[in-house]
Amino acid sequence: MSSITRRRFLKTGLTTAALLAAAPVLDMRTWAASQEQARVEVVPTLCNGCSSHCGMLAHVKNGRLWKITGHPDHGRSQGKLCARAHGAAFWLYDPDRLAGPLKREGDHFVPIDWEQALDEIAAKLEAVLAAHGPGAVFFAHNPRATGAFYGTRFMHALGAPTTMTHNASCNTSLILAYQAVFGTTPGADLANSKYIMLIGRNPAEGIQTGYSAALARAIEKGAKLVVVDPRHNASAAIATEWVPIRPGTDLALLLAMMNVMIAENLYDAGFVAEHTVGFEELAAAVREYSPAWAAPITDIPATTIARLARELAAARPNCVVDPGWKGGFGANYANGTETARAVGAINALLGNLNKPGGLTFYGAPKLGKLPADKAPDPPKPTLPRGDGAGIAGEFPLAPTAQGLPHVAARKAREGKLRAGIVRHHNPVRNFPDPEHMMAGMRALDLLVVIDTHMTETARLAHYVLPEPSFLEREEVVEAIPGRKGTVCMRTRVVPKLLENTRTFDEIIVALARRMGVGEYFNFTLDELNSARLQPLGITLEELKARGSIQVETPVVEGMPKLKTPSGKVEFVSERFAKAGFNAVPGWIPPRVMPEPARPNSFRLIHGKQGYHSHTSTANIPYLLQITRDHNAERLWMNAGRAAALGIKDGDLVWVRSSLASRQVRVKVTERLHPEAVYIPSGYGNFSPGLTRANGFGLSMNDLVPFQTEPMSGHAMMMEVVVEVEPAGA
Residue ranges in contact with other proteins by CB under 8 A: 1-2, 4, 6-16, 18-20, 22-23, 25-28, 31-32, 35-36, 40, 59, 61-68, 86-87, 89-90, 92-95, 98-100, 102, 108-109, 111, 454, 459, 464, 497-500, 621-622, 687-689, 691
- Choice between 122 and 626, CB closer to other proteins: 626
Report in angstroms how near the CB of residue 664 gets to other proteins at its nearest: 24
Residue 262, number of CB atoms within 10 A of its CB:
20
- Choice between 113 and 552, CB closer to other proteins: 113
Q: Are 458 and 468 in contact (CB under 8 A)?
A: no
- Choice between 12 and 265, CB closer to other proteins: 12
- Choice between 503 and 638, CB closer to other proteins: 503
Report in angstroms how near the CB of residue 633 gets to other proteins at its nearest: 20
- Choice between 3 and 265, CB closer to other proteins: 3
**Pairing mode of beta strands 635-638, 721-726:** unpaired
Report in angstroms how near the CB of residue 645 gets to other proteins at its nearest: 38
Report in angstroms how near the CB of residue 33 gets to other proteins at its nearest: 11
Residue 265, phi-psi category: left (phi > 0), alpha (psi -120 to 50), beta (remainder)? left
Report in angstroms how near the CB of residue 716 gets to other proteins at its nearest: 31
Give, to the nearest 10 degrees, the angle between helix 250-263 and helix 279-286.
Answer: 110
Residue type, 595: E
- Choice between 373 and 629, CB closer to other proteins: 629
Q: Are 487 and 365 in contact (CB under 8 A)?
A: yes
- 728 class by beta-carbon count within 10 Å (0-12 exposed, 13-18 middle, 19+ buried): exposed
Report in angstroms how near the CB of residue 1 gets to other proteins at its nearest: 5
Query: Which residues, 6+ apart, have CB-to-CB distance to 12 below 8 Å?
Result: none
Report in angstroms how near the CB of residue 65 gets to other proteins at its nearest: 6
Q: For residues 682 and 684, give the distance between their C-alpha atoms in angstroms, rounded to a whole number.
A: 7
Q: For residues 719 and 593, give the distance between their C-alpha atoms in angstroms, rounded to a whole number.
A: 8
- Choice between 270 and 495, CB closer to other proteins: 495
- Choice between 59 and 665, CB closer to other proteins: 59
Report in angstroms how near the CB of residue 476 gets to other proteins at its nearest: 26
Q: For residues 448 and 465, give the distance between their C-alpha atoms in angstroms, rounded to a whole number.
A: 7
**DSSP state for residue 717 in the 8-state scheme:** T
Report in angstroms how near the CB of residue 441 gets to other proteins at its nearest: 15
Q: For residues 140 and 430, give the distance between their C-alpha atoms in angstroms, rounded to a whole number.
A: 13
Residue 14, number of CB atoms within 10 A of its CB:
11
- Choice between 59 and 310, CB closer to other proteins: 59
Per-residue b or e along 439-466, where b marks 16 or more CB atoms closer than 10 Å to that residue's CB: bbbebbbbbbbbbbbbbbbbbbbbbbbb
Per-residue b or e along 377-407, where b marks 16 or more CB atoms closer than 10 Å to that residue's CB: ebeebeeebbbbbbbeebbbbbbbbbbbbbb
- Choice between 121 and 497, CB closer to other proteins: 497
Report in angstroms how near the CB of residue 42 gets to other proteins at its nearest: 13
Q: What is the separation of C-alpha 207 from the centre of its chain, rounded to a whole number of angstroms? A: 12
Enclosing H/E stretch for 726: strand 721-726
Q: What is the separation of C-alpha 615 from the centre of its chain, rounded to a whole number of angstroms? A: 11
Report in angstroms how near the CB of residue 23 gets to other proteins at its nearest: 6
Query: Which residues, 6+ apart, have CB-to-CB distance to 29 below 8 Å?
Result: none
- Choice between 77 and 259, CB closer to other proteins: 77
403 to each of 26, 162, 477, 716, how far by Cα in Å? 57, 8, 24, 15
